Amino acid sequence: MMHARKPWLFFLAAALIGIVGAWKPVHMDDAAFVRVAQQMRVAPGDPYGFAWSYLGEPTSASVGLPHPPLWPGALAVALELGGETAFSLHLPSVAALLLLALGLWRWLPGEEDRRARWLILCSPVLVVMGQSSMSDVPALALGVLGLGTWTKAEREQRLRGALAAGLWLAAAGLTRYAALAFAALPLAALLAPGDAAAPSSPWGRRARALLAGGTPLLAALLFQAWFAARYGATHFELLASYLRFEDLRAPELRVLAFLPALAVAFPVGFAVLTAVLGRRVAGGALLAGALLGAWGALRSSAAHGIAWNAPHFALLVLCSAVGLALPLAAARARPRLEERALLGAVLLALLVASPAGAARYVLPLAVLCIVALRAELAALRGPAWRAAIALQLLLAASLALADLRAARGARELYRRASALAERSGAQLWVRGELGLRYELERSGARYLDATERGVEVGDLLVRSERATPADSRFSARVDAALPVAPQWILDASDAFPLRLHQPYAGAGFYGHRAGLLPFAFARAPHELVFVHRFAEAPDLLDLDRAERVGASENSALAEDFARYARVRPAAPRADLELARALHLVARRASGGEMRLRFEVDLPAEPRKLGGRWAEPARLHEDTVPGHASEVELAVRALDGSSRAISFVGRSRARARVEDRRWWPLELDLAPLRGRRVAIEIACRVPADEPVADAVAYAILADLELLPQG
């Protein structure tokens, strides 16, 4: 493949991976890093000093964008030098791939390591993510370069080299916090016995290990101290609040569902588990993961009508066979103590993040797997090696092409939506995250959050079918609340039969679903964009006119309630009209209750309170369906009597917000006519229910006083 005396070919291949995708539009989470980069061009010392509407709710960028600023800083330099173009935004990615090549060359310098170097460089996820503006590959590159510099310093027994390694590893941790796991390798060397082939002072060896492994941890702590002083909380606290350990009890056991994805995306990746755990344990884990992943894939394909199971099973069997047979004697391969420590640290991070993870998160683990098996790779026969590398290249090229076509198709949709607004002379609003809002905001669109007051009749609203999972909370609220009429549906279809993005991609390269593979053989649309026109101007939020009573044991409930409840005042004729939807949301609480209370004078004529209500539904795809909740609507007289009329709706949450059912609602208020009454709405989550991120979602819509009959 290449000779050790010709490194230029390896570096050229690394650069080509980035250059080929240098004109890919800003897509998916790229936009989050680009937005911080835009801020750093204006205020380098205040990277998160701007407002950010996250999932429909206005918040600070320090909360909504929990990523360290080193990589956005590199993007800011590229924007300053080359302007805001796709090519400029991808130049730092090319530099990151070159740093990765340099790190691999330092870490694996021998002729016998060339296969491991090439297999890492051709890994499908690395090829796909190397053509993005996200921080996955840059963090990996800096981490590998740090480890390569440290191993070189160990060979040469140089303290200065260990310091340089620590600085590279610190840069990796300030690019992506998960890269701090790379510090486990030099720290584990503190406990490892010395190398008899290269004797050195034990204190010198430990000093080098402590310098290389401790520097990134110290840098991370110093940055968090600065961040807390500037913004009031650390990123570590924010990230910890996102973890949902309750999800590990989910029926699909997503931790195991990631194992077959690892074996498929990296044909040699799973072999390291065979090496560390033994053939029987690793084989059983693979089988369990495959069965559980197949279950998720079957359910997903049934929901979306995707005929993909047969090809997926065939590819799973093929790639798993390659991975487990590299070689059959892999159980004899025992990685060094520090290598196993690093593998364990990254694997632990993967297990914790897997319920809300994406296929790209296994990238560092796959690289470490290949490094741990470099001796076995060198011993492979020619045909087996050529088959493995050919499969990697074919899969990598196909997935990268599908990703490029998806990004270009989405950009074309956004341009068409902007053209529709320009022709009609209307203000364009966008609801959705990241890539969608980036492209449309560049065309003059404004983001629609829960506090927006500037919407006018005739304005256009653009939303994506494939919003982020947590955005379903906002999506359902706006769908029910805003007086919009569908105008157009823009479809980005493509004959190339690979899909990497939700909802048609199984686990998803960027998404958070468990599935058999992180991609799917399908011809479903890459993207659907819906364009709506406002039939009337909405009143999204007016808490000053709402009276909230009742206390919650969990203060977070009150905060959520204050953000999500939206009401309209009583009309002059004493009729009551709530906003098109009233939302009661319970998050991270058990036995929580929220109430909203209004007082109104009922007219002397008989009236009824009419409307409809929706069953609760699971808000986030990673929570467990089936949580019970209760919504109550009560009208009570305030004249000292105990007369009251109430309605109580009880049900278990649906698996998806889209599956919830609407039911008619009608209360006869004739017995209370002519009296002053209190209208109370409550949402409860029973204390005996296991609660994950968000469990109750109750909607009362079109609620108003109507004449009898």
- Would you state the pLDDT for residue 538? 61
Lowest-confidence range among 93-97, 201-205, 383-387, 691-695? Answer: 691-695
Residue carrying structure tokens 């050229």 = 12
Which of 110-124, 306-320, 673-687 is predicted most confidently? 110-124
Lowest-confidence range among 15-24, 382-391, 636-645? Answer: 636-645
Q: If pLDDT is split at 50, 70 and 90, which confidence band does 183 have?
A: confident
Tell whether pTM > 0.75.
Answer: no
- Would you state the pLDDT for residue 215? 94
- Report whether 563 contacts 450 (CB < 8 A): yes
Q: Which residue has the higher pLDDT, 458 or 168?
A: 168
Q: Which residue has the higher pLDDT, 53 or 212?
A: 212
On the question of pLDDT at 73 being above 70, the answer is: yes
Helices (H) and strands (E) in the chain, counts: 23, 15
Q: If pLDDT is split at 50, 70 and 90, which confidence band does 16 have?
A: very high
- Report whether 590 contacts 627 (CB < 8 A): no
The token pair that represents 442 in the structure block: 């560049």
Q: If pLDDT is split at 50, 70 and 90, which confidence band does 286 have?
A: low
Give tens-digit pLDDT for 135-170: 989 999 999 999 999 988 888 888 999 999 999 999
- Report whether 529 contacts 431 (CB < 8 A): no
- Would you state the pLDDT for residue 506? 56
Side-chain-side CA neighbours of 216 within 13 Å: the count stands at 33
On the question of pLDDT at 449 being above 60, the answer is: yes
Which of 238-242, 297-301, 661-665 is predicted most confidently? 661-665
Would you tell me the crossing angle of helices 202-231 and 136-156 to the nearest 10 degrees? 150
Q: Of 177, 112, 173, give the one whose Cα is nearest residue 145.
A: 173
Q: Which residue has the higher pLDDT, 537 or 700?
A: 537
Q: What separation, in Å, do the N-terminal and C-terminal C-alpha atoms of the chain show? A: 83
Q: Which residue has the higher pLDDT, 369 or 347?
A: 369
- Would you state the pLDDT for residue 74? 96
Domain 543-707 maps to which CATH number in 2.60.120, 3.30.310, 2.60.40, 3.40.50?
A: 2.60.120
Question: Whole-angstrom Cα distance, residue 107 to residue 127?
Answer: 20
On the question of pLDDT at 694 being above 50, the answer is: no
Lowest-confidence range among 9-18, 38-47, 274-283? Answer: 274-283
What is the strand order of the sheet 644-652 is part of?
593-601, 676-684, 628-637, 644-652
Q: Of 237, 199, 205, 192, give the one whose Cα is nearest residue 342.
A: 192
Which of 262-276, 524-538, 690-704 is predicted most confidently? 524-538
On the question of pLDDT at 115 being above 80, the answer is: yes
On the question of pLDDT at 258 being above 90, the answer is: no
- Report whether 461 contacts 429 (CB < 8 A): yes
Helices in 43-123 by DSSP H: which ranges? 61-64, 70-82, 86-107, 114-121
* CA distances from residue 450 to 53, 82, 190, 231, 588 in whole angstroms, order as listed: 9, 36, 53, 23, 21
Q: Where are the domains of the chain?
A: 1-232, 406-534, 543-707
On the question of pLDDT at 352 being above 90, the answer is: no
Question: Whole-angstrom Cα distance, residue 379 to residue 112?
Answer: 9
On the question of pLDDT at 272 being above 50, the answer is: no
Asked if the peptide bond before residue 327 counts as cis, ω within 30 degrees of 0, the response is yes
What DSSP string describes 425-484?
TPPEEEES-THHHHHHHHTT-EE--TT-----TT-EEEEESS--GGGHHHHHHHHHHS-E
Q: 3-state class of 132 per DSSP?
A: coil
- Report whether 696 contacts 585 (CB < 8 A): yes
Q: Which residue has the higher pLDDT, 29 or 34?
A: 34
- Would you state the pLDDT for residue 117? 87
Question: Whole-angstrom Cα distance, residue 597 to residue 625?
Answer: 29
- Report whether 460 contacts 487 (CB < 8 A): yes
The token pair that represents 481 in the structure block: 């609340």
Burial of 283 per CB tally in 10 Å (0-12, 13-18, 19+): middle
Beta-strand pair 428-431/460-464: parallel
The token pair that represents 473 in the structure block: 């909370």
Question: Whole-angstrom Cα distance, residue 512 to residue 699?
Answer: 26
The token pair that represents 521 in the structure block: 């053989």
- Report whether 408 contacts 492 (CB < 8 A): no
Q: Tell me, what DSSP letter sits at residue 569?
A: P
In Å, how far from its chain's centre is CA 227?
23
Burial of 121 per CB tally in 10 Å (0-12, 13-18, 19+): buried
Q: Of 580, 233, 232, 265, give the one whose Cα is nearest residue 392.
A: 265
- Report whether 404 contacts 24 (CB < 8 A): yes
Count of all residues that appear for the chain in the document: 709
Question: Whole-angstrom Cα distance, residue 26 to residue 40?
Answer: 18
Q: Of 641, 643, 633, 640, give the one whose Cα is nearest residue 663.
A: 633
- Average pLDDT of the chain, as a whole number: 68
Q: Which residue has the higher pLDDT, 489 or 299?
A: 489
Q: Which residues of 287-310 are buried (b: 16+ CB within 10 A; e: fewer)?
A: eebbebbbbbbeebbeebebebbe
Question: Whole-angstrom Cα distance, residue 508 to residue 420?
Answer: 31
Q: If pLDDT is split at 50, 70 and 90, which confidence band does 295 have?
A: low
On the question of pLDDT at 679 being above 90, the answer is: no
The token pair that represents 364 in the structure block: 């560092």
